[in-house]
Copies of this chain bind each other. A is one copy, B any other.
Amino acid sequence: MTHRLNRRKFLQYTGMAGTALLLPGKGTAGSYPTLASDEIGLSKWELETPSLCLELEVMEKNLKKVHYKLAGSGIGVRPHIKTHKCPALAQMQLDAGAVGVCAAKLSESEIMLENGISQVLMTGVNVSPVKIKKAMALRKKYPGFIQAVDNPVNAQDLQDAAKAAGIIAEVVVDLDVIKRSGVRTGLPALELAQQIDRSPNLRFMGILAYDGGAQHVKGYAARKARTDQTFEPVVATYESMVKSGLNVEIFSGAGTGTYDMMGDVPGFTDVQVGSYLFMDAQYMAIGSEENEELYDHFDPSLTVMTTVINTNYPGRLITDSGAKALTINKPSGIVIGEPGFTYNAGSDEYGTVTYSEANRDYKVGDRLEVIVPHCDPAINLYDRIYGIRRGKVEMVLPVLARGMSR
């Protein structure tokens, strides 16, 4: 089923058809699915805690900056919504010029598609008959849904299900780059792509090569070296596919840690960045090409507001935000404005801040604003994100795909 994109399809894939661009400086409330709430208008310091807050101006800069950084490279952006699980944010990403979004799971994909996100590439595979059937029903309803496959048996199952559903389903081949998901690069991948291409009810669209392990390698040089190594067999696989006559429309991979390393990869089409919108303590620690100490391509926009609830001991504050509010990921959350604070979220219900120096005195009831350790699992703990502008709640964004791990 080798084919070329027509213009209509191109517009559809690039997300440019019918949707308004996000205008610089324009307020974004209203055009996205947001929640009515009597908390709108409150100062972020008045919110009950723990609350997950998003500085909209910072987020909007990050949203644009990834496109600015990639301008002229020919590489597109296909943000991974596993990070935020929020259709409103996905819509902002599409409006900013994303070619579509990625989703990790079927239930996440469904939430996105049913909430107006028309271009969804599911990077995980569906292997159970029930999920495969659901996925094909979803594709029947939403033509912009692309599925991944990583083994020949599964490809046949997808073919059978697509036939039963009476559709031709778009499929990408996920490549094994870190011994996690994916088909082995080289001949196994080529043969799987050819099998799909021969399948009357499947349409081969391209390949995925996401090196999840590379994203948090500390130091630009080390990260780049690893990425180059990862992509050697991937590129060879890509070239074998092109040589065999396959139409590799999608060659997707990379994340927030490696999005700027893909320029020399032949045929590469788009980066699957997710954390770039928010940043977190993990990504801040990896360093960039220009700044080995702090990864500063994007600025931290996502925080948890927390309340000091106990001050019994000097150099020690207890807060109401523990593992259920921040996760136990490392490095720990970063208290804004207090570089000397160490935040321990190891208790389920309580946070413990220790310090030898503080910039002010703290008493019970005071709030702290904490940059999250790792944005993806932290957001997955919350039903809503408070969109903050100039210190006040401008919108409440529902995390509709929270907990959607199926």
Determine whether the beta carbon of A127 is less than 8 Å from that of B365.
yes
Given contacts A127-B309, A364-B127, A405-B321, contact A180 B104 (CB under 8 A): no
Residues of B contacting A104 in the complex (Cβ-Cβ under 8 angstroms): 348-349
* A50 lies within 8 A of chain B by Cβ: yes
A186 to chain B, nearest CB (A): 12
Whether A348 pairs with B181 at a CB distance below 8 angstroms is: no
Among residues of B, the one whose C-beta sits closest to the C-beta of A384 is B403
Complex CA–CA separation, A320 to B126 (angstroms): 10
Contact present for A307 and B127 (CB under 8 Å): yes
Q: Scoring A residues 303 to 342 as 1 if CB is less than 8 Å from chain B, else 0, what string do you get?
A: 0000111101100101011011101110000000000000
Interface of A is mostly: loop
Instruction: Count contacts on A: residues with CB < 8 A to the other chain.
Output: 59
A377 at interface by CB-CB < 8 Å: yes
Kindly report which residue of chain B lies nearest to residue A184, judged by CB atoms: B312
A60 within 8 A of B: no
Residues from chain B with a CB closer than 8 A to the CB of A124 are 309, 320, 349
Q: A49-B406, A128-B48, A212-B347 are in contact. Are A310 and B365 (CB under 8 A)?
A: no
Could you say which of A10-18, A148-156, A218-226, A243-251 contacts chain B? A148-156
A382 at interface, CB cutoff 8 A: yes
Decide: B403 and A180 in contact? CB cutoff 8 A: no
Q: Any chain B CB within 8 A of the CB of A380?
A: yes
| Residues from 172 to 202 in A contacting B, C-beta threshold 8 Å | 176, 179-184
- Binary interface encoding of chain A residues 43-55 relative to chain B, with 1 for a CB under 8 A from any of its CBs, else 0: 0001011110000
Shortest beta-carbon contacts, A-B, top 7 = A104-B349, A127-B365, A325-B405, A50-B405, A48-B406, A324-B405, A348-B376
